[in-house]
Amino acid sequence: MRSAARVVVVGGGVVGASVLYHLTKAGWTDVMLIERDELTCGSTWHAAGGMHTVNGDPNVARLQQYTINLYREIERISGQSCGVHLTGGLMLAGTRERLDWLKMAQARGRYLGMELEMLTAEEAARRFPLLDKQHFVGAIFDPVEGHVDPYGVTQAYAKSAQIAGAEIVRHTRVVDLKPRSDGTWDVITDHGNVHAEHVVNAGGLWAREVGRMVGLELPILAMEHQYLITEEVPQIAGLPEQLHCIDFEGELYLREERGGMLIGTYERAGVPWSPVATPWDFAQSLLPNDLDRIAPSLEVAFEHFPALGEVGIRKVVNGPFTFAPDGNPLVGPIKGLRNFWVACGVMAGFSQGGGVGLALSQWMVNGDPGSDIWAMDVARYGDWATLAYTNAKVRENYSRRFRIRFPNEELPAARPLRTTPIYDRLREAHAVFGEYCGLEHPLWFAPSGADAWEDVTFHRSNAHAHVAEECRAVQERVGLLETSNYGKIEVTGPGAEEWLSRIMANRVPRVGRIALTPMLNDRGKLIGDFTMCRLAADRVLLIGTLAAETYYLRWFQSHLPPAGVQVRACAMEHVGLSVAGPESRALLQSLVRDDLSNTAFPFLTFRRVDIGMIPALVGRISFTGELGYEIWVSPDYQRALYELLVEAGAGKGLKPFGGRALNAMRIEKGFGNWAREFRPIYGPYEAGLGRFVALEKGDFIGRAAALAERASGGELRLVAFAVDAADADAIGDEPIWHDGRVVGWVTSGAYGHRVGRSLALGYVPAAIAAASAGFEIEIIGERRPAERLSACAYDPTGARMRS
Ligand SMILES: Cc1cc2nc3c(=O)[nH]c(=O)nc-3n(C[C@H](O)[C@H](O)[C@H](O)COP(=O)(O)OP(=O)(O)OC[C@H]3O[C@@H](n4cnc5c(N)ncnc54)[C@H](O)[C@@H]3O)c2cc1C
């Protein structure tokens, strides 16, 4: 074992081996992998080896496509077979809702270049003779599905890496990780130490324990998972290999295994394995079978695939593997730890392992993952994702693995966790709550007498009419919104202005003013959008997306100068309420001594104001497009503020509104959101944020690329559409057609109640962005005519919010 290496990868499962291979491919060959036992001995060796391209997040789907296409490459380099069986696969629908879901998956696949084919139940039965078609209403066929040999894949990655110069050390356990002051690491093993510039935690089942060596509690939990292999099934004898098959209603997956069928299930009563600490003596081990637990799923299997009930069981496998609370991997560098990286929580190693290795290696070698991996970024979780939270959410996620998550569906586990002081007041007002980063926030308000409950659906829900009323109140009178679910980061110190000017694309505003700003990476792509509120010469409050708080802090901390600037997250120190609508000024003015007139308190003012007895920070800004004010107070004042506003607003027709109405109104205004319109695959000019890029202010991160983008115009353009929708609006990720071709994708959609039209925002190639006709947006399998709007749908001059 060498005593020094540029990178030590901890863990030789499929993920660690892929990371090692990709590092060598990216040019770092002084790398080593340390495995405490044999390669694959964790969760990898007993995997069913299934692989597929479909994923709820299009960017993860892209990395899955990459993974599957990679197997030929590593087979060629290593000479090791991956045992690829590209059988193609079926996803079966047993209900109309599932069929709608499949249509949406097929539509999304169109702009990812996937050739998914819709089938009737009869057609599906012809391709998969084991199914009883009476239980199904349709299916999708994906030619890029199948299974691999888990051992072969891991060995192929490992050998390919070794050929390029990587070292693999087996039977050696990493027992501790000690940081040096220069950011490098001492990797302490039971067979000696290695000095490494970088460490990658690819510890799989033990990733939590490896994280704890550096003080991290990673949000991952292993669940027991069972599959069985039947004796030979006579009905398929002599036929070509059977397709990979997912039966969503049965919560089953199936594939052929040596003449029999492998049947796996994500049962509802899933059981965590080693919920607190993973035993180190577990290697190439299985757990005791518990067929009783999966008996309900097997009964469905025998009903849906009758031939399977007639053959015996050859083998049962019960093994653990890890999940993050949302089921996506945890990848990337860790805020506050230099040169420490994670690649864990990978629940579909044979669909995702290659993409994870690619993204992480690019990130380490080039400083950027090279693609939009927000859905996998470890920074999407914050401190709220504790061990017990993770336990509740992973169990929920496992039990729902094959169930539909409707776009308006809120899941119940681990709730309520974080609440603001007015939570019970909002409940009394019949709020229907959503959960975001563990925090409860109102989505909409049911009228008294009606259930505070939303039907889950792909179509317009029972909330539609009530959200319309909320929008009307904001348009005509005044609405009250709880806005605590924003991230807040305070930047202080004598160097704050200069530093922010380098980090952000826009100018830092004067004291007492607000400026909106994109944040760019070195490639000039969007990695954040903020409201910068200047409180003092040396104090700026950044307001942005709560879910990205850790992501932002990680970037800020890695760009801080040695002295003169402090950066601190303070989301819950400033909880918020916002008043919006033509009566909002009169309402607020009735409670404050300051002059709120348009001349004294113009648009984009930010100031300390006392509201009644309550000290507050008030910003005149609007996400609704109406005259409005955002009010930030410390939590101990929020209740009093709420009651004051409600009482004073009663005579002005004040109505509470929630996130659904806000979303509809911001789409009417064409205002983008982080993780929807603004992501690291778009440039600021493409995203319509060019007016917030101050190219002339001097150098800032991403300026050169932004200059080039302005000169070229960029490749894409964010455009607004009015869609001739039926009873379902676009929600995001629908394909945009133009003249019979898929040219782009929707980022957000909603019904615009103030304009009385169904709306969508989405990206299309810049070259056709100005086309006046020929657009369609595919909503649940139907191509609906879409009118490209030359300006935002509501109040394009912005007169209402500036008045
Ligand atoms: C029953 C079952 C069926 C499955 N079916 C599929 C499927 O069909 N398709 C699919 O894509 N996925 C499937 N999976 C999931 C798949 O197995 C995982 O996604 C994959 O194995 C994750 O790989 P990993 O490298 O992250 O973790 P692991 O395989 O757990 O590897 C981690 C490695 O790190 C080593 N290690 C940990 N700590 C240390 C240390 N301190 N020092 C040295 N070494 C250390 C361990 O010994 C281990 O070898 C299945 C899993 C199970 C259990």
Neighbours of 676 (CB within 10 A): 17
Amino acid 565: pLDDT = 98
CA of 34 from ligand 1 middle (Å) equals 15
Residue 561 parent element (H or E): none
pLDDT tier for residue 54 given thresholds of 50, 70 and 90 = confident
What is the signed CA dihedral for 384, 390, 392, 395, rounded to 10 degrees? 150
Average pLDDT of the residues of the chain: 96
Amino acid 688: pLDDT = 97
pLDDT tier for residue 472 given thresholds of 50, 70 and 90 = very high
- What is the tens place of the pLDDT at every residue in 483-537? 999 999 999 999 999 999 999 999 999 999 999 999 999 999 999 999 999 999 9
Residue 713 region by backbone torsions, left for phi larger than 0, else alpha for psi between -120 and 50, else beta:
left
Average of per-residue pLDDT across 46-59: 88
104-139: burial string, b at 16+ Cβ within 10 Å, e else:
bbbbbbbbbebebebbebebbbeebebbebebbbbb
pLDDT tier for residue 443 given thresholds of 50, 70 and 90 = very high
Q: Report how far residue 68's alpha carbon sits from residue 71's, in angstroms, rounded to the nearest whole number.
A: 6
Peptide bond into 416 cis (omega under 30): yes
- What is the tens place of the pLDDT at every residue in 83-98? 999 999 999 999 999 9
CA of 321 from ligand 1 middle (Å) equals 6
CA of 48 from ligand 1 middle (Å) equals 12
Average of per-residue pLDDT across 409-415: 97
DSSP state of 507: P
Binding pocket residue ranges, ligand 1, CB within 6 Å = 10-16, 34-37, 41-44, 46-51, 173-174, 202-206, 210, 225, 227, 317, 319-321, 344, 346-351
DSSP state of 772: -
Confirm whether pTM is higher than 0.85: yes
Given a cut of 90, whether residue 272 has pLDDT beyond it is: yes
pLDDT tier for residue 223 given thresholds of 50, 70 and 90 = very high
Nearest CA to ligand 1 atom 41: 174
Contact 605, 512 (CB under 8 A): yes
* Residue 173 CA, closest ligand 1 atom number: 42
Tell which residue, 37, 27, 3, has the closest CA to residue 16. 37
Q: Report how far residue 406's alpha carbon sits from residue 403's, in angstroms, rounded to the nearest whole number.
A: 9
- Candidate of 10, 18, 19, 44 to mutate for ligand 1, largest count of ligand atoms within 8 Å of Cβ: 44
- Candidate of 43, 187, 227 to mutate for ligand 1, largest count of ligand atoms within 8 Å of Cβ: 43
Three-state SS for 361-409 is HHHHHHCCCCCCCHHHEHHHCCCCCCHHHHHHHHHHHHHCCCCCCCCCC
- What is the tens place of the pLDDT at every residue in 307-333? 999 999 999 999 999 999 999 999 999
Contact 319, 46 (CB under 8 A): yes
Residue 746 region by backbone torsions, left for phi larger than 0, else alpha for psi between -120 and 50, else beta:
beta
- Candidate of 40, 169, 174, 206 to mutate for ligand 1, largest count of ligand atoms within 8 Å of Cβ: 206
Tell which residue, 538, 544, 600, has the closest CA to residue 569. 544
Q: Report how far residue 71's alpha carbon sits from residue 350's, in angstroms, rounded to the nearest whole number.
A: 10
CA of 270 from ligand 1 middle (Å) equals 18
CA of 708 from ligand 1 middle (Å) equals 44
CA of 14 from ligand 1 middle (Å) equals 7
CA of 26 from ligand 1 middle (Å) equals 24
- What is the tens place of the pLDDT at every residue in 227-248? 999 999 999 999 999 999 999 9
Average of per-residue pLDDT across 366-386: 94
Average of per-residue pLDDT across 443-465: 94
Amino acid 59: pLDDT = 83
- How far is Cα of residue 52 from the mean position of the Cα atoms in its chain? 19
Amino acid 665: pLDDT = 98
Given a cut of 90, whether residue 289 has pLDDT beyond it is: yes
- Which contacts (CB < 8 Å, 24+ apart) does range 586-593 have? 586/652, 587/478, 587/645, 587/648, 587/649, 587/652, 587/654, 588/618, 588/629, 590/648, 591/644, 591/645, 591/648
Helix ranges, 400-484 (H): 423-428, 464-476
Contact 8, 172 (CB under 8 A): no
Burial of 803 (0-12, 13-18, 19+ CB in 10 A): exposed
Contact 429, 445 (CB under 8 A): yes
Per DSSP, the three-state class of 86 is: coil
CA of 393 from ligand 1 middle (Å) equals 20
Given a cut of 90, whether residue 60 has pLDDT beyond it is: no
- What is the tens place of the pLDDT at every residue in 525-584? 999 999 999 999 999 999 999 999 999 999 999 999 999 999 999 999 999 999 999 999
Give me the DSSP letters along 667-734: HHTT---BTTTB-TTS-TTTTT-GGG--GGG---TTHHHHHHHHHH--SEEEEEEEE--SS----S--
Amino acid 23: pLDDT = 98
Given a cut of 90, whether residue 113 has pLDDT beyond it is: no
pLDDT tier for residue 763 given thresholds of 50, 70 and 90 = very high
Q: Report how far residue 713's alpha carbon sits from residue 706's, in angstroms, rounded to the nearest whole number.
A: 10
Neighbours of 332 (CB within 10 A): 22
- Candidate of 321, 342, 378 to mutate for ligand 1, largest count of ligand atoms within 8 Å of Cβ: 321
CA of 53 from ligand 1 middle (Å) equals 20
Token pair of 605, please? 């003012």
Amino acid 449: pLDDT = 83
* Residue 317 CA, closest ligand 1 atom number: 1
Q: Report how far residue 263's alpha carbon sits from residue 299's, in angstroms, rounded to the nearest whole number.
A: 12
- What is the tens place of the pLDDT at every residue in 697-756? 999 999 999 999 999 999 999 999 999 999 999 999 999 999 999 999 999 999 999 999
Nearest CA to ligand 1 atom 10: 348
Q: Report how far residue 742's alpha carbon sits from residue 776's, in angstroms, rounded to the nearest whole number.
A: 9
